[in-house]
Structure 1
Amino acid sequence: MVENAPQARPQTGLDQADIVYEILAEGEITRFVSVFQSNPAETIGPVRSIRPYFVEIGDALDAVIVHAGWSQEAMDMMAGRKLSHLDEVYGDGAYYWRSTERKAPHNLYTSVDKMKQGAKAHNFRSEWNGPLLTFAKEGTSPLTGAAVSYIQIPYLQGYFVSYEYDATAGVYKRSMEGKPHVDKETGKQLQTKNLLVLESKHKIVDKEGRREVDVFGPNKGVILQEGKSQQITWERKNGLLRAYDDKGKEVPLLPGNTWVQIVPEGTQLKME
């Protein structure tokens, strides 16, 4: 769990995640579920607390869930399902560290190596039973829709995300509130080979502004790859939020990383 409050920006390590899910939390801001498998990121964070719909994503991926605190419903879910997780607030501080460059709680970090140490210390199951991604054949682009060189994705209270296509690199480069979203350590702008924007049912459930967010579907959305777009439906099947065309065939991903923007139903995207 990586936070996205202004005090937490720029973040570290999101550029090395295989998949990043961005979803609204309370406080009218988003958080990131960052999924690490192929890159041994040495710094990841700032790490913050978890919510039930984030747990659902981690559980479906058969992941070790790494966080700092929780909502009660999220903790009940993890305890009830006996999920493997590391919580800095309650007993797992050895697998995190605090940076002196920022004030708490926006200064908590971990790494892939620290996460592996924690998993080993807790005797978590080492065999992975997670889902497999569906990839396109090398050199093929599966999309048939309109060209999109720029997309703007509004969330709430003026916060918006945008991506601009870099044809030379074949990636969409990410910005937040009109400024390049960069990694703190490298200074490089975040980018993605696959961009999915998925509409989902959202509901505020308490006075703190906590939400229920549907991460099962089905619902509608759009996928962008190599400067092209395609309208899709999405649904969680076999552990992943997968995209399907109008004939019900899964739309494969291109080799590389993936960003998934989960937005409330009816969100008006700006695409050029």
Structure 2
Amino acid sequence: MKKWAVAAAAVLLLFSGCSKKETVNGSVKGDKNENKVIEEEPKQEESYYFPLTGVQSETKTDGRAVAVMINNHPKARPQSGLNKADIVYEILAEGDITRFMAVFQSEKPTNIGPVRSARDYYIELAKGFKALYIAHGYSPEAQKMLNNNYVDNLNGMVYDGTLFKRSTTRQAPHNSYITYENILKGVELKHYKMDQTPPAFTFMKPEDTDKITGTDAKSVMIHYSNSGISNSIIEFDQTSKKYKRFSGGEQTVDMETNEPILLDNIFIVEAEHQVIDSAGHRDINLQSGGKAYLLQMGKVNELNWENRNGRIIPVKDGKEVPFVPGKTWVNVVPTDPGMAKSVSFRNN
């Protein structure tokens, strides 16, 4: 019996040792698995770019553009808000006076103006951006388009004294202003939507801007009239790599901040102009395309312009030419007298 007892004890010890060994081995294996660090691939941050400037942003860049008609009469200078515009269109209204359509999307100015009346060709440009259109007054053709809701709009003829305010330091019609806050109040009042992001222009990479080739052109004079009331000179500043604009011998700046308008692209296009009534209203052909100049980084290139889905774009050999990231100014000049007499370059 003693022998059997000893044998049984030995067997129990053997099984006990195996069990402990398996437990230890199992725990070791488990520890290795538990302590193993799983390396996750770093998440790539999404890049956002403003559609009308090509400038990168850390946050989303969607949202509707707002296009505002701005007065360029000498009594309306300096204007408010132009320094915040992504792109500005300068076109003749009546006589030899030009008018601006400033398009805002990446920046929202506090105060904008003086606001001036609508024209049909500006309305067409605003529609190409899916923009909310702001004006104070209208030509007969523009009035028909706005009354038919061709574009969402707010007009000072309806909201003078409410959304639009009159400055006491200037005389009408050079004293109508609207704040961006009041634009949003108008949006709410009219039940408009502000989520219609405009289609993006094509932009070159920032590192490619130093590779731009072309003819040297440090300044350009744009001639709209013999009186010189709307003529402007645009000069390239080598230090800032930006263009400065001058009108009537004075630099174009913001009235509130005195901040200069600094530009990255000067796009000059030639289009047919025709006076259509005794008031001097014009029909301007912004559909058929034509000759153009594009100034970037102190260089100028002759190319063409086309209207693609309501937007005027620079084109060469059928391909869209990219803009330098930043702000753009578009000058539309008449085919008569044409580019040769309307535009002159200097390299000093």
* Fold equivalence (TM over 0.5): yes
* Cα deviation, residue 49, structure 1: 0.5
Q: 1:198 aligns with which of 269, 272, 288?
A: 269
Does residue 131 of the first structure (1) align with residue 204 of the second (2)? no
Q: Structure 1: which 5+ residue stretches go unaligned?
A: none
Change (3 A) 1:237 1:69: same
Tell me, yes or no, if structure 1 residue 148 matches structure 2 residue 222.
no
| C-alpha distance in structure 2 between counterparts of 1:129 and 1:181, whole Å | 29
Instruction: Please point out which of 227, 233, 253 is paired with 1:182.
Output: 253
What is residue 344 of structure 2 aligned with on the other side? 270
The structural deviation recorded for 1:239 is: 3.2
Q: Distance in 2 between matches of 1:99 and 1:78?
A: 25
Would the aligned equivalents of 1:131 and 1:240 in 2 still touch at CA under 8 Å? no
**Whose radius of gyration is greater, 1 or 2?**
2
Name the stretch that deviates more: 260-269 or 136-145.
136-145
Q: State the 1:271 CA deviation.
A: 0.5
Q: 1:129 offset after TM fit, Å? A: 5.2
Amino acid at match of 2:167: S
Matched AA of 1:249: K
Question: CA shift at 1:130, angstroms?
Answer: 2.8
Can you list the C-alpha shifts for 1:17-76, whole angstroms capped at 9, x where unaligned?
011000000132000000011112001100011011111111111111101111121121
Report SS of the residue matched to 2:216: coil
Are positions 1:103 and 2:171 aligned together?
Answer: yes
Q: CA deviation at 1:93?
A: 4.3
Report the AA paired with residue 295 of structure 2. L
Q: 1:220 Cα shift?
A: 0.6
Partners of 1:80 and 1:99 in 2: CA distance: 30
Structure 1 partner of 2:136: 68
State the partner residue of 1:170.
241
Question: Does the 8 Å contact 2:124/2:310 carry over to 1?
Answer: no
Q: How many angstroms apart in 1 are the aligned matches of 2:246 and 2:79?
A: 13
Segments of structure 2 that go 5 or more residues without pairing to the other structure are: 1-68
Separation in structure 2 between the aligned mates of residue 91 and residue 181 of structure 1, nearest angstrom: 28
Is contact 2:123-2:151 (8 Å) kept? no
Tell me the CA shift for residue 192 of structure 1: 0.5
Q: TM-score, normalised by structure 2?
A: 0.75
Q: What percent of counterpart residues are identical? A: 38
Aligned partner of residue 69 in structure 1, secondary structure: coil
Farther off after superposition, 50-59 or 177-186: 177-186
CA offsets, 1:98-127, max 9 Å, x none?
111111221111122221221121001333
Shift of 1:5: 1.1
Residues 180-214 of structure 1: CA deviation (Å, up to 9, x unaligned): 22221122332210110111100111111111111
Distance 1:81 1:100, change over 3 A: closer
User: Whose helix fraction is larger, Structure 1's or Structure 2's?
Assistant: 2
What secondary structure is seen at the aligned counterpart in 2 of 1:140? helix
- Number of the residue aligned with 2:299: 228
RCO higher in structure (CA 8 A, sep ≥6): 1
Distance 2:129 2:161 in 1: 24
2:329 aligned residue = 259
Give the match for residue 280 of structure 2.
209
Say what the alpha-carbon RMSD is for the aligned residues: 1.5
Q: Name which of structure 1's ranges 177-186 and 197-206 shifts more when overlaid on structure 2.
A: 177-186
User: Aligned ranges for residues 233-248 of structure 1 at < 5 Å?
Assistant: 233-245=304-316, 247-248=317-318
Separation in 2, partners of 1:130, 1:195: 20
Report the 3-state secondary structure (helix = DSSP H, G, I; strand = E; otherwise coil) of the residue aligned with 2:225.
coil
Contact 1:87 1:93 (8 Å CA) reproduced: no
- Mean alpha-carbon deviation: is it higher for 14-23 or for 261-270? 261-270
- Is 1:131–1:239's contact at 8 Å kept on the other side of the alignment? no
SS at match of 2:185: helix
SS in 2 for 1:208: coil
**For residues 195 and 165 of structure 2, what CA distance do their matches in structure 1 show?**
27
> Structure 2 CA distance, aligned partners of 1:44 and 1:255?
24
Deviations 1:204-242 (A, max 9, x none): 111111111112231011001111111110011133210
